[in-house]
């Protein structure tokens, strides 16, 4: 990473004064909370690499390190930019190893730049955890194209995640898809798999409904193409519709708050189509909100204890009751889901106040129905 990004006598209140960056000596990533990693791998992109004159991750860093420090001690390391492997598959494996090592030390990797298919390497790092995982994807369309000679990895990476063997995916939440860009059969396929989706219109109408979906995720990947061009002119081809910068930063705030989430990737930024640095500033602010949310984390454990209000809703059928929990500290709800016929298989999952109200009126929440299918 260029020393000029942090070696210009930073103001003592800015993030540049608190980040430990890889210049001459490698920073102590084992004792860090967060680790930034820049990516410049575009071989999986549909339209090829951007112009080489500007490194996207460095452009975001330039804006990010100028921001003011927020809450918390800020134990942040910057590991620099990952060198791509000899092949694209080598890069995926490098990401798998690096992210896996960071996860073992409870250091949260923050990935900046490169094409969106790099979240496959991010995903592979979780295979070693030997448990079902959940993840959230923010993108203008679900990248579920059939692999083939005419299909780029960027267009098919989500399918590759879902068909990976061994299969360790428990749930997926896809946020901010645009209906006119998404083949109907893709949404039907995701629904048949009992995964949740929210269109860009639904997120913008009430972004709070996205919070439980992000709160259930072990990792999140964001494609900058999910944002409208006016707010983030850092991708190609341009799209005048999408999330605004406020919705995007809110989703990152939710992700930071989620004590279960252990990595995040912000992908797809092309500095060569961002002449005024507006998209870099948007991504830097998204990163700031993620980090601020991280330092506001408060472990929500001990369901059924004094930390939570417990609501039991009696139902006329099977199941005959549903149990909900609400945090006394925050407006967060959870729902207890037992597998029908086997109450030993149970999960407490994030939900909304609307799920509780639906149950109170005698209707099973759609979230309960989906989880029932996943548990089965």
pLDDT tens digits, one per residue of 192-246 = 999 999 999 999 999 999 999 999 999 999 999 999 999 999 999 999 999 999 9
CA 188 to chain CA mean position, Å: 23
Is the pLDDT reported for residue 1 higher than 60?
no
- How confident is the model at residue 101, as a pLDDT? 97
Q: Are 295 and 70 contacting, i.e. CB atoms less than 8 angstroms apart?
A: yes
Q: Which single residue is written with the structure tokens 């002119």? A: 233
376 or 193: whose pLDDT is higher?
Answer: 193
- How confident is the model at residue 2, as a pLDDT? 54
Closest CA to 164 of 196, 198, 121: 121
* Whether pTM exceeds 0.85: yes
- How confident is the model at residue 5, as a pLDDT? 55
Least confident of 168-182, 258-272, 329-343: 329-343
- How confident is the model at residue 344, as a pLDDT? 66
Domains of the chain: 3-294 (3.40.800.10), 308-375 (no CATH)
What are the pLDDT digits (tens) for 2-58? 555 555 567 888 999 999 888 777 889 999 999 999 999 999 999 988 887 678 999
330 vs 183: CA distance, rounded Å = 38
- How confident is the model at residue 316, as a pLDDT? 86
What mean pLDDT is predicted for residues 133-138? 98
Is the pLDDT reported for residue 312 higher than 80?
yes
Query: Is the Cα torsion angle 103, 109, 113, 116 positive or negative in sign?
Result: positive
Average pLDDT across the chain, whole number: 92
18 or 138: whose pLDDT is higher?
Answer: 138
288: Cβ contacts below 8 Å, ≥ 6 apart: 15, 64, 67, 70
């Amino acid at each position: 990473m260029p020393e000029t990004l942090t070696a210009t006598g930073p103001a003592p209140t800015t993030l540049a004064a608190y980040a430990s960056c890889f210049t001459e000596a490698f920073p102590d990533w084992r004792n860090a909370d967060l680790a930034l990693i820049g990516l410049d791998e575009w071989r999986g992109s549909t339209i090829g690499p951007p112009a080489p004159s500007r490194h996207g991750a460095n452009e975001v860093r330039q804006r990010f390190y100028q921001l003011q420090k927020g809450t918390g001690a800020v134990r942040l390391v910057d590991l620099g930019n990952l060198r791509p492997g000899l092949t694209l598959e080598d890069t995926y494996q490098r990401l798998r190893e690096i992210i896996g090592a960071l996860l073992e030390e409870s250091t949260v990797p923050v990935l900046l730049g490169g094409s969106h298919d790099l979240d496959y390497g991010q995903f592979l790092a979780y295979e070693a955890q030997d448990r079902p995982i959940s993840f959230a994807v923010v993108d203008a369309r679900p990248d579920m194209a059939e692999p083939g000679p005419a299909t780029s990895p960027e267009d098919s990476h989500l399918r590759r995640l879902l068909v990976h063997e061994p299969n360790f995916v428990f749930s997926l939440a896809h946020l901010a898809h645009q209906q006119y860009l998404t083949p109907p059969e893709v949404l039907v396929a995701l629904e048949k798999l009992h995964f949740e989706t929210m269109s860009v219109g639904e997120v913008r109408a009430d972004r709070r409904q996205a919070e439980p979906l992000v709160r259930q995720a072990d990792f999140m990947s964001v494609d900058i193409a999910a944002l409208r061009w006016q707010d983030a002119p850092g991708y190609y081809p341009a799209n005048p519709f999408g999330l605004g910068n406020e919705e995007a930063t809110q989703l990152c705030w939710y992700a930071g708050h989620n004590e279960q989430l252990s990595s995040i990737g912000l992908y797809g930024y092309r500095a060569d189509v961002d002449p005024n640095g507006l998209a870099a500033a948007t991504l830097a602010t998204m990163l700031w909100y993620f980090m601020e949310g991280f330092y506001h984390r408060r472990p929500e454990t001990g369901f059924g204890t004094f930390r939570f209000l417990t609501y039991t809703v009696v139902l006329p059928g099977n199941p005959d009751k549903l149990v909900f929990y609400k945090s006394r500290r925050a407006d967060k709800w959870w729902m207890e889901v037992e597998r029908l016929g086997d109450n030993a298989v149970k999960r407490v999952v994030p939900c909304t106040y609307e799920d509780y109200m639906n149950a109170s009126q005698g209707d099973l929440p759609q979230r309960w129905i989906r989880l029932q299918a996943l548990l089965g």
